[in-house]
Structure 1
């Protein structure tokens, strides 16, 4: 599959041949759903268990008389009614993540890339160089490319000038090729890859 390469000024900069094994896979909703669910659950921190009555280190000695003291007949200070006592019906320790086969994860990423290529929201740029890292200059470039909510993926490392210029622009996200993931790709209206990103992504699957 051949795709036109542009510059940030929306000028033509040649063509690039996209590997059909990476950008030409037929998307499946069930695979994409599994990968996105796995990815979001991996972000969740485990729930911390609270200390219940049996977990609190306090004296178990009966601290008052059974009768005649004018108070309730407590046996120890670990009871939930006391400050510092155990929590009644506290939260249990719990992890939310689950495993997903590497082949399914890789297939999901291919399908996410292919879905953007299929619906025409994939753009390939020559590079992401922004003059002096100015936000105003980048806003003008995005207007020429007709981009609003877009995910930009670069090569080994993100372009420093682009990262500086896009820091305050809402809806513009930037990732290195190694950080490409299904959730961020599907969430963006447009996917913008550099030539270096295309090479890295194809090498990632062919390696």
Structure 2
């Protein structure tokens, strides 16, 4: 177990070394981040080969005396012809098992903690859906472009944060490797830490 300081509280937060003190595995994190991003790709690009195209297949010139021999204008070398290696709908998803995914999240959280980029707070209750007041709060805390992780984020917090560039709000159950890697800093509540430890332990 390791002790972490909580902003605005005299009590230290005890957390698991396996979640916030793990060795950083760049290869594992890279693999999981790439797989997560690929899972979001639509993969719906489609082009036509010469066999997919509509149009006549009539031979358009005589066999001899005209240079190269051609059967129809749908060949890839002609303007308006089919593609030689046409793109077809495909699935970009990659298999990442549960142990690898959890290990990558642990590795990212541990590295953020080592770099001092996670700010732990007792709570982050927000009732004012004003972007300006939330921006002032971040300035007072000395954080930039934060990812806010709470146990149960309020609608007011989502509304206040949505117009701030590079600021994201996540429930403890909704954290993902891409948002963690892309965050310049992280604000995490004590209750969120407990939820995340239950999930990753």
User: When the two structures are superposed, what TM-score results if normalisation uses the length of structure 2?
Assistant: 0.80
Contact 1:130 1:137 in 2 (8 A): no
Residue in structure 2 matching 1:92, options 70, 87, 91: 87
Q: Which has the higher mean CA deviation after the structures are superposed, 108-117 or 46-55? A: 46-55
Aligned residue in 1 for 2:183: 188
Aligned residue in 2 for 1:112: 108
Aligned residue in 2 for 1:141: 137
Cα pair distance change 1:88/1:34, threshold 3 Å: closer
Aligned residue in 1 for 2:162: 167
Cα pair distance change 1:151/1:55, threshold 3 Å: same
Total equivalences in the alignment:
193
1:205 aligns with 2:193: no
Q: Distance in 2 between matches of 1:15 and 1:78?
A: 72
Q: Distance in 2 between matches of 1:134 and 1:82?
A: 56
Report the Cα offset of residue 195 of structure 1.
Answer: 2.1
Cα pair distance change 1:102/1:59, threshold 3 Å: same
Contact 1:151 1:185 in 2 (8 A): yes
- Please, what is the CA RMSD of the aligned residues? 2.7
Residue in structure 2 matching 1:121, options 106, 117, 122: 117
Cα pair distance change 1:159/1:78, threshold 3 Å: same
Q: Distance in 1 between matches of 2:83 and 2:165?
A: 45
Aligned residue in 2 for 1:70: none
Report the Cα offset of residue 4 of structure 1.
Answer: 2.4
Cα pair distance change 1:65/1:108, threshold 3 Å: closer
1:2 aligned counterpart, secondary structure: strand
2:165 aligned counterpart, secondary structure: coil
Q: Distance in 2 between matches of 1:200 and 1:12?
A: 20
5+ long unaligned stretches in structure 2:
63-68
- 1:69-118: CA deviations, max 9, x gaps? xxxx99667566586xx523252224433222321111011111111112
Aligned residue in 1 for 2:65: none
Aligned residue in 2 for 1:17: 14
Report the Cα offset of residue 201 of structure 1.
Answer: 0.8
